[in-house]
């Protein structure tokens, strides 16, 4: 398999070198062979979430082959703790994972150019080739599959070597089994195991917290729609902390006249308001000035936001979606958007525990008509995911910290916020309609804070 990046000064080749199956270093105990998916998991999008971390060249290994062998060995040990990731689940509508230790596919690829060229000259879409077998968001689901009983692996890995000795470690993990926090915890733990080196690795600090769920007799609507794809492109915008502080001050001053000023908005709150306002304005311009009602959906982790908090290492789709409409221009004020976010955060933080949260969601799912209507309505919303609390740039395989960590693929109206490498700002990935992106990339209000 060869991919060609024609925008480079010369043709750059990205070639698959080898494929292997990595199984856990020790068998999964019989009492853990079935891992029931929660209702949160079953409602998650049927897609693969792709994360990739880039590392510069080091002299720790004599060759890329030695580095690959080390990564395979450490992955095997890590999978003994993350045993569901090495199992199999139904491709459509899974309710459990068969933890059968069938293993994960490990692909090795080679790029004949230096890592610096790839990072500096490639567009976001060029990341796609770094991930295994098109397991990028919804792309894997576009292929024709006639067997309803077909099963798939939750996890696949691709390690990409560059001519300079740099490497990109990419993972694609089924969103049916994990959220962003789960994926990043797995990468961190795999890196920790790799750093320990040797056959007798220390796994004492690798303790993913898998929650036990009873089987819920909930019949979800058939053919739940996924977020459709189209001419959507992803671009990165970096907001320095100094500029974000200016934005926060602007928001407080703007809301002062209302008598209820928004004090101390978080970085995520401030950027959500700014980006949403600019994204809606861009969409309005491409539609001949016609305002199209839309909305805000922000993913909120419930690990530390319930009365009975969960360990940060808890694995699964442990989030709720805070959502509200923006029907007209008057709804785009910081007072409305940030105020609505805070109102919903307060409501979620009053939920006692996961069982209570699951009960609320279960009751919502019982009304199929309302659920399908909600899904259709949310299709026009902008979805914001904030992962800036996770130490993304602490994922160290023993080669030092990554120089870049990002998310691959393109998803409709998705906005992802994460820390910059030095923690001096927030990098935001925006996936928007191609025409909307052309406008927002030149929006003076947005660029004033970049």
Distance between CA 88 and CA 99 in Å, rounded?
7
Both tokens assigned to 6:
């024609």
Determine whether 147 is an active site residue.
no
Phi, then psi, of 186 in degrees rounded to 5? -65, -45
Where are the strands (E) in 56-111, listed by range? 88-90, 96-98, 104-111
**Per-residue DSSP letter, 133:** G
Determine whether 200 is an active site residue.
no
**Nearby residues of 167 by Cβ (< 8 Å), 6 or more positions away:** 54, 55, 64, 67, 115, 159, 160, 161, 399
Torsion on CA atoms 89, 416, 315, 338, rounded to nearest 10: -130
**Nearby residues of 1 by Cβ (< 8 Å), 6 or more positions away:** 15, 16
Concatenate the DSSP letters of all residues of 343-391 into one string.
HHHHHHTT---HHHHHHHHHHHHT-HHHHHHHHHHHTTSEEEEE-TTS-
Q: 261: how many CB neighbours lie within 10 A of its CB?
A: 13
Distance between CA 102 and CA 118 in Å, rounded?
34
Concatenate the DSSP letters of all residues of 191-221 into one string.
HHHHHH-SSS---TT---EEPP-PPP---PP
Tell me the H-state helices in 130-179.
Answer: none
**End-to-end CA separation in angstroms for the chain:** 38
Where are the strands (E) in 8-65, listed by range? 12-22, 34-36, 48-55
Nearest-CA neighbor of 262 among 347, 337, 327, 330? 337
Which is the catalytic residue, given 124, 175, 276, 436? 175
Distance between CA 70 and CA 78 in Å, rounded?
12
- Residue pointed to by tokens 């007072």: 335
**Nearby residues of 50 by Cβ (< 8 Å), 6 or more positions away:** 127, 131, 135, 136, 137, 170, 171, 172, 407, 408, 409
- Residue pointed to by tokens 């009602």: 293
Residues annotated as part of the active site:
175, 396
């Amino acid at each position: 398999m060869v991919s060609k990046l024609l925008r480079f000064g010369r043709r750059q080749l990205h070639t698959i070198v080898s494929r292997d199956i990595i199984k856990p270093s020790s068998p999964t105990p019989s009492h853990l062979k079935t891992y029931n998916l929660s209702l949160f998991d079953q409602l998650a999008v049927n897609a693969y979430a792709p994360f990739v971390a880039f590392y510069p060249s080091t002299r720790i290994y004599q060759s890329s082959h030695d580095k690959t062998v080390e990564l395979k060995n450490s992955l095997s040990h890590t999978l003994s703790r993350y045993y569901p990731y090495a199992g199999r689940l139904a491709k459509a509508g899974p309710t459990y994972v068969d933890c059968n230790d069938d293993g994960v596919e490990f692909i090795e690829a080679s790029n004949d150019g230096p890592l610096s060229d790839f990072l500096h000259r490639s567009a976001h879409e060029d990341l796609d080739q770094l991930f295994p077998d098109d397991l990028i968001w919804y792309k894997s689901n576009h292929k024709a599959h006639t067997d309803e009983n077909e099963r798939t692996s939750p996890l696949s890995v691709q390690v990409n070597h560059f001519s300079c000795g740099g490497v990109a470690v990419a993972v694609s993990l089924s969103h049916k089994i994990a959220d962003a926090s789960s994926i990043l915890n797995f990468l961190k733990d795999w890196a920790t195991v790799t750093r320990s080196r040797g056959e007798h690795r220390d796994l004492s600090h690798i303790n993913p917290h898998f929650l036990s769920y009873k089987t819920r007799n909930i019949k979800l609507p058939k053919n739940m729609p996924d977020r459709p794809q189209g001419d959507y492109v992803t671009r990165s915008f970096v907001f320095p902390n100094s500029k974000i502080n200016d934005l926060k001050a602007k928001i407080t001053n703007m809301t002062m006249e209302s008598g209820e000023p928004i004090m101390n908005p978080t970085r995520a709150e401030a950027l959500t308001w700014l980006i949403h306002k600019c994204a809606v304005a861009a969409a309005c311009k491409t539609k001949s000035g016609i305002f199209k009602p839309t909305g805000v959906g922000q993913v909120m982790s419930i690990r530390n936001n319930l009365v009975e908090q969960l360990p940060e290492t808890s694995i699964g789709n442990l989030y709720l979606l805070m959502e509200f409409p923006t029907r007209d221009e008057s709804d785009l004020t910081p007072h409305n958007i940030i105020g609505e976010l805070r109102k919903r955060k307060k409501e979620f933080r009053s939920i006692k525990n996961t069982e209570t949260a699951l009960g609320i969601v279960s009751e919502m799912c019982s009304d199929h008509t309302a659920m399908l209507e909600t899904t259709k309505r949310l299709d026009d919303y902008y979805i914001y995911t904030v992962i800036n609390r996770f130490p993304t740039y602490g994922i160290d395989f023993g080669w030092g910290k990554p120089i870049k960590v990002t998310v691959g693929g393109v998803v409709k109206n998705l906005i992802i916020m994460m820390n910059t490498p030095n923690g001096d700002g927030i990098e935001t990935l925006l996936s928007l309609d191609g025409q909307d992106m052309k406008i927002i990339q030149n929006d003076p209000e947005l660029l004033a804070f970049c």
